[in-house]
Chains A and B, each alone.
Chain A
Amino acid sequence: MCPSSPVSIDTCYVKRQAMADAGAPAVSQHNKPVKNSWWHNNQQSMTPWLFLAPGILFFLFYVIFPIYQSFSLSFYSWDGLGEAEYVGAYNYEELYWDDAFYTSLRNNLIWLVMYLFAIPAGLFIALFLNQTVTGIRLYKSLFFFPFVISQVVVGLVFTWFYDPTFGLLNYILGGVGIPPINVLGDENFVTYGIIVAGLWPQTAYCMILYLTGLNAVDPEQIEAGRLDGAKGLRMLWHIIIPQLRPATFIAFVVTIIGALRSFDLISVMTNGGPYGESRVLSFYMFEVALSEYGFRMGYGASIAVVLFLIMLVFIAYFLWSMYQEEKAR
């Protein structure tokens, strides 16, 4: 098991050490009485379940079971306190006629599409920073900085940045002679304004994924490409980007999830306004179920179900890709 080739000496040492720590019999087991208990025979098949039990129970209780509850709640009318009343598909029917629902749905779509811009933007910054000049490490950290800050603070920062009276944006725009824009007060700009705020940390996230990916790009292939006369964009497209596939996949996953989870920014920056124009499903659901607009838990649950079904399409795709990869191993 431990061949004496110089390469494996290290692992063998680690192995022996670990085994000694684990209390393995050092020489042989011949003198040991043979255990024949139930536990001894079933140890291998039982152990994983014992290790899984606490995690699974917690997860079933707080995540899986509530999903089921929300589904069933969406067929009830409930104010959160009294008796829930079964109303069949009424909540969904109301949803069908609800303009605010369509506004939210449309904004969700805008979020999804616009948010994907974080991926090329992140790649662009990663390419820009993938150098070895002095101090580049600090630059990379500082570029990554927005991701570490909470979305609440990002929201506040951008609210002030957009402010029509003192915001830096309008100060700069004024400098080049453009009249002030009230980004968050204008129903045409508001969603885009919030998305830009969201793109800021999201781009940083994609950037760090690509920086790591670029580190692992095979230098020989680049040299081979150079010899074949590939340069700049052609090199990027045909040699680099295919090798960045795993990073792109993760960037795609986290960006989609991030786009559909958008809540903090909207809540902090506009609270859904003006006139509910910046709502998305996640925010509208919260508003319906828990804010001063009334405690309509059943109706909120039906909105959540719609959001869940949208997300499910992506979840299914992610799981399918992961499954393909597992099989390939």
Chain B
Amino acid sequence: MFPTPIERTSRSWQISYQTLLPLALILWLLPLIAVAIFSFKPASDFANANYWGWPSSFEGFTNYALVFTGSDMPQYLLNSVFITVPTVIGAVALSCMTGFALGVYKFKANIWIFFMFVAGNFVPFQILMVPVRDLTLQMGLYNTITGLVLFHIAFQTGFCTLFMRNFIRALPFELIEAARVEGVAEWRIFWYIVLPLMKPAIAALSVLIFTFIWNDYFWAVVLTQGVESQPVTAGITSFNAQYRAAYHLMSAGSIVAALPPVAMFFLMQKHFIAGLTLGAVK
């Protein structure tokens, strides 16, 4: 193990390490801690320029309650859910199939199709922006959740295919060969043999895509406009416009907007990290 395990070092370094650890963490999360503190302060503290002093009263509950009752925040959160969940299902379903096709079959165009997905996934959003917005307008899906979901599914399929294909490549191929010898139909191989083995990949990918889509801002701004379809990342700007200079409320709003992916991460940590670091080890 590198660096040298702490148990094998001098006593003084052990003690300094144990004190450095929490200090480093506080320093690392300082901007976030500041916002968290803001969200518990009453409005009067900001009027009196008591920014960093002790809160004159603890108003956390009032502030967060106001985020949910005094604004469109619940609607934005709901929109985010309705955008994120179908996208995750759609992109994962499509990429299970493309990943299977590219991971199991050998044919000439295989590597080129694979590279098309990979390259498309790296493309800057701006090169797609005008045509995709136009397409969405023409289909009558501008400013709808469906329009946003369809695009997200298509775009995420690139990354998901890369992920799934590499995962399937690492599965024991003899399993599929044996099934073929036994005369199992190809679609049955997919459904009964490969798909069950892909469960960990599906879990990892779902958590990742959930986070990516929940945190998307660019496409939300390009393809949607109002409270009826915008996700919370875009909604937070309207929220901040509504409560301009009410820092306690804006802080609370930001924390609410950031929370779902954070909760997802802490609940599904193992899958999340497995997904993110696929390929980081050979």
Contact = CB atoms under 8 A, between A and B. Distances in A.
Contacts of A56: 98, 113
Contacts of B18: 133
Nearest to B261: A148
A67 B269 CA distance: 36
A323 interface: yes
B1 A65 contact: no
Nearest to A329: B169
Given A19-B179, A47-B187, A157-B31, A70 B280 contact: no
B222 A290 contact: yes
A212 B281 contact: yes
A157 B254 CA distance: 8
Interface in A56-81: 56, 58-59, 61-67, 69-70, 73, 80
Nearest to B94: A55
B184 interface: yes
Interface in A234-265: 235-236, 239-240, 246-247, 250, 257, 260-261, 263-264
A66 B25 contact: no
A314 B118 CA distance: 12
A216 interface: yes
Interface in B1-46: 1-3, 5-7, 17-18, 21, 24-25, 28-32, 34-35, 38, 46
B234 to A, nearest CB: 8
A291 to B, nearest CB: 10
Given A62-B150, A250-B279, A18 B101 contact: no
27 contacts: A24-B182, A43-B186, A47-B187, A59-B117, A63-B154, A66-B128, A69-B131, A70-B128, A139-B21, A142-B25, A146-B28, A150-B214, A156-B250, A212-B273, A217-B1, A222-B1, A236-B2, A239-B2, A263-B218, A282-B124, A289-B129, A290-B129, A300-B126, A307-B127, A308-B126, A318-B118, A319-B115
A128 B189 CA distance: 46
A315 B17 contact: no
A48 B111 contact: no
How would you classify the secondary structure of chain B's contact residues: helix, strand, loop or mixed? Answer: helix
Given A62-B155, A152-B257, A168 B127 contact: no
B125 interface: yes
A66 B120 CA distance: 11
B183 A24 contact: yes
Contacts of A272: none
A45 interface: yes
B115 to A, nearest CB: 5
A132 B5 contact: yes
Nearest to B22: A139
Given A209-B280, A286-B218, 12 more contacts: A21-B192, A49-B101, A52-B97, A52-B102, A61-B154, A67-B127, A131-B17, A139-B21, A148-B264, A156-B240, A307-B127, A319-B115
A304 interface: yes
A22 interface: yes
Interface string B112-155: 01011111101111111111111100000000000000110111
A235 B2 contact: yes
A285 interface: yes
Interface of B: 1-3, 5-7, 17-18, 21, 24-25, 28-32, 34-35, 38, 46, 49, 51-52, 94-95, 97-98, 100-102, 104-105, 107, 110-111, 113, 115-120, 122-135, 150-151, 153-155, 157-158, 161, 172, 174-175, 178-179, 181-193, 196, 211, 214-215, 217-218, 221-222, 233, 236-237, 240, 247, 250-251, 254-255, 257-258, 261-262, 264-266, 269, 273, 276-277, 279-282
A51 B97 contact: yes
Given A131-B17, A315-B122, A141 B269 contact: yes
Contacts of A282: 124-126
A145 interface: yes
A245 to B, nearest CB: 8
A32 B279 contact: no
B276 A205 contact: yes
A153 B236 contact: yes
Contacts of A149: 32, 215, 258, 261-262
